[in-house]
Structure 1
């Protein structure tokens, strides 16, 4: 949880370190930012989605919670208000995501999610591995077909 508290945009919900960002997580400024984000969405790091991601993918708790949170932030910023409300009702801590999103920058496109994944030391292609895990959780929670279809289109 120590490192989880160092960046949690979510996720909820990633695994090779890129050369371009290899030293990024070592800087004090980045660690401070990660701590701020983590405190903004602490519940997401303890969410069932984070647990599913870490158990099904070769990712750390920090990567799972932050990557998942980035994907969910994109959903919150892109979905209709009805779908956003439905999503928020299914994911503990999602209502706290707004503060974390502003700390990491506006997550308004899939490219922004890819950037977050890279900063986490994950290949952006991991989004395609996160999506079915998150979608499976939402399906188990009884998500509507409208929400599921919207997320499928958003995370392609």
Structure 2
């Protein structure tokens, strides 16, 4: 595979050098080489993305989720299915607390939310009666208890919830923008 890449890249580099040498100044050569190297770099990034998408698809993870799934797998050492299910549980918790229009807008700006929601384990609301007694605090406790139960069903420690949330919020920020991230995070932490 490496020799095949070299065979494809070598003619490109040779043509770049010859084209640059035909120019009248050394700056043209450097600019041409820089441009060629940038093209090679973009091609390598595209190839890596295709390979990662193939790995994710083989693991049963929807291709739209490879960015978030890879971030969770690499940063937290969880499996792709645990990453997808945990992210889905977090999106589910936010969905419960957000206005339907706000969550709909979020799900349109963040790719693959529906896939993540589908991968989330289904758990009942464990403290539904306590919410009215405790007020807003009960709602937050209820959210965290529900997330802990979801994570246990994924064979993850409930303490992983606090490690997942910042990664998922960063993903929302990078794909949906800072306003979406702020709304999303406040839904998870606000009473």
TM-score (norm 1): 0.60
The residue number in structure 2 matching 1:58 is 77
- 1:47 is displaced (CA, Å) by 3.9
Q: Counterparts of 1:81 and 1:66 in 2: how far apart (Å)?
A: 21
The residue number in structure 2 matching 1:112 is 146
- 1:106 is displaced (CA, Å) by 4.7
The correspondence for 2:160, drawn from 112, 122, 126, is 126
Q: Which has the higher contact order (CA 8 A, sep 6+)?
A: 1
TM-score (norm 2): 0.50
- 1:4 is displaced (CA, Å) by 5.8
Matched, 1:95 2:114: yes
The residue number in structure 2 matching 1:82 is 101
| Runs of 5+ unmatched residues, structure 1 | 6-41
Larger helix percent? 2
**Correspondences of 1:41-56 after superposition (within 5 Å):** 43=62, 46-56=65-75
| Runs of 5+ unmatched residues, structure 2 | 1-55, 126-141
Q: Output the aligned Cα RMSD.
A: 3.1
Q: Counterparts of 1:119 and 1:43 in 2: how far apart (Å)?
A: 20
The correspondence for 1:150, drawn from 164, 177, 183, is 183
CA-to-aligned-CA distance 1:120-155 (integer Å, 9 cap, x gap):
22111211111111111111124243x433332343
Assess if the C-alpha contact under 8 Å between 2:111 and 2:175 holds in 1: no
- Paired residues, number: 118
Assess if the C-alpha contact under 8 Å between 1:68 and 1:130 holds in 2: yes
Cα distance, 1:142–1:94 mapped onto 2, change above 3 Å: closer
